[in-house]
Amino acid sequence: MNLAGLTAHEARELLDAGEITSVELTTAVLERVSQVEDRVKAFVTVTDELAMQQAEQADARIAARDAQPLTGIPMLLKDNMVTKGVRTTCSSRMLENFIPPYDATVTGKLYEQGAVLVGKGNLDEFAMGSSNENSAFHPTRNPWALDRVPGGSSGGPAAAVAADECIFSLGSDTGGSIRQPASLCGIVGMKPTYGLVSRFGLVAFASSLDQIGPLTKDVRDCAITLSAIAGNDPSDSTSLSIDVPDYTRALTEDLSGLRIGVPSEYFGAGLEPGVESAVSAAIDVMRSLGAEVEETSLPSTPYALAVYYIIAPSEASANLARYDGVKYGFSVQDADGVWDALEKTRQHGFGPEVKRRIMLGTYALSAGYYDAYYLQAQRVRTLIRREFEQVFTRFDAVVMPTSPTVAFKLGEKTADPLQMYLNDILTIPANIAGIPGMSVPAGMSDGLPVGLQIMAPALSEETLLRIAYAYEQATDFRGKYGPPPL
């Protein structure tokens, strides 16, 4: 039996039945890491000793019949979520040797469940990128084609799940950084409603856009993981006060009565024919499952990219001001005074993309330009949010491609930042509007995965999961295409 290839719910059944132990499962996953990690490079840090300790503790809980859904299940966390005693780098030289003294809320919730941490996942530096090539350490490679990108910025967590280097992972999504790599790697990824999952302990990029969510092998695992990490947190002032349901109860195979909209703006120029064909076929499947599907319009969608690349860099320029070499992190010691030390620290500690976004944000917030850029972007953001609200008076959800392309080759777009930014054009609107979105595998194009994206009103994760699960069960991507050919 290929233990590393199991889903979380498959592993749960075997663990509870006593057919396998968490130690055996974790050993199999770590062996898989040792076999393929030199090619995939999904990890920044492998925590093998900690993982085995946690696996032994999980087995004791299972023996005492104290198991929860994720007890004993090996996981990976994106390396911008702090982990007490375990290096958290944000894939940046600035935090290369930073060891946090506390856990992020999501880390603590998963530890309470008894999940097993096998490592920290590679990302674009400070989550700024769409290909994982902005990591200060190494680019992650797509398990389906090692000469191609896994997407970003959660490329490491997505690639690790696809390559069976963990059973599930967590990523963060500021403009598509969970959904786009999920699409390119052929797995499931969800960005929850803003505020549903605590951001405490997530190293901030753009505070009004960032959200943590699951990356999993199937939709049921996504529901299980979301149930574990969602909920109010007094440590996060943006955390919503709601009762968290058992999201697995939303998983049915019937879409009768659901109204699904197809926004025409998401099927325009730049969409690869193979992607459009796969998504159109997916929409036909939804019709066959009983959904009422109609075309609709979100006319302000084309402005979302410009809005994002004003708001996100502006917030980043403020959030990253704390990295000055004084209290923690990288610090240049060979300097002529404090200001010279600060400048050199930021010059050598940040990579090119991070510095580019800090400069963009500082410019947009500067005197004389604030009203023209940042304030105007916030006004358009309100228009986009209202358009979604209007559409959701007619539809339960909207569907579209996750990414306009399949995975592109490493180095193909690094010389042109604008072309790189366009990779997020279909995912950014959900972050701008604060609504949930998810990507589910929708077949292949040219031998590479295509993602179907679903968006729904705020706090409608159950609707997303219902649609995704019904579609998944009708198409069986994992059964049809299997794991990547590593």
Helices 304-319 and 352-365 pack at an angle, to 10 degrees, of 100
Which contacts of 411-414 are long-range, i.e. CB under 8 A and separated by 24 or more positions? 411/133, 413/131, 414/131, 414/133
Is 256 designated active site? no
Calculate the alpha carbon distances from 374 to 120, 300, 314, 353, 430 in Å: 34, 17, 8, 20, 19
Rounded distance between C-alpha atoms, residue 179 and residue 242, angstroms:
24
CB 110 within 8 A of CB 372: no
Q: Which of 437, 446, 2, 451 is nearest to 226 (CA)?
A: 437
Q: In terms of C-beta density within 10 A (0-12 exposed, 13-18 middle, 19 or more buried), how is residue 260 classed?
A: buried
SS3 assignment, position 169? strand
Smallest Cα–Cα separation from 190: which of 221, 149, 162, 156? Answer: 221
Chain center to CA of 179: 6
**355 is a catalytic site residue:** no
List 91, 130, 153, 169, catalytic entry: 153
Is 78 among the catalytic positions?
yes
Residue 349 DSSP SS3: helix
Residue of 22, 41, 78, 317 with catalytic role: 78
Catalytic residue among 135, 177, 239, 460: 177
Q: Is 291:253 a contact under the CB 8 Å cutoff?
A: no
How far apart are the two ends of the chain, measured CA to CA in Å? 18
Joined tokens for residue 182: 């999920």
CA distance 473 to 230: 25
In the beta sheet, which residues pair with residue 145?
Answer: 142
Active site residues: 78, 153, 177
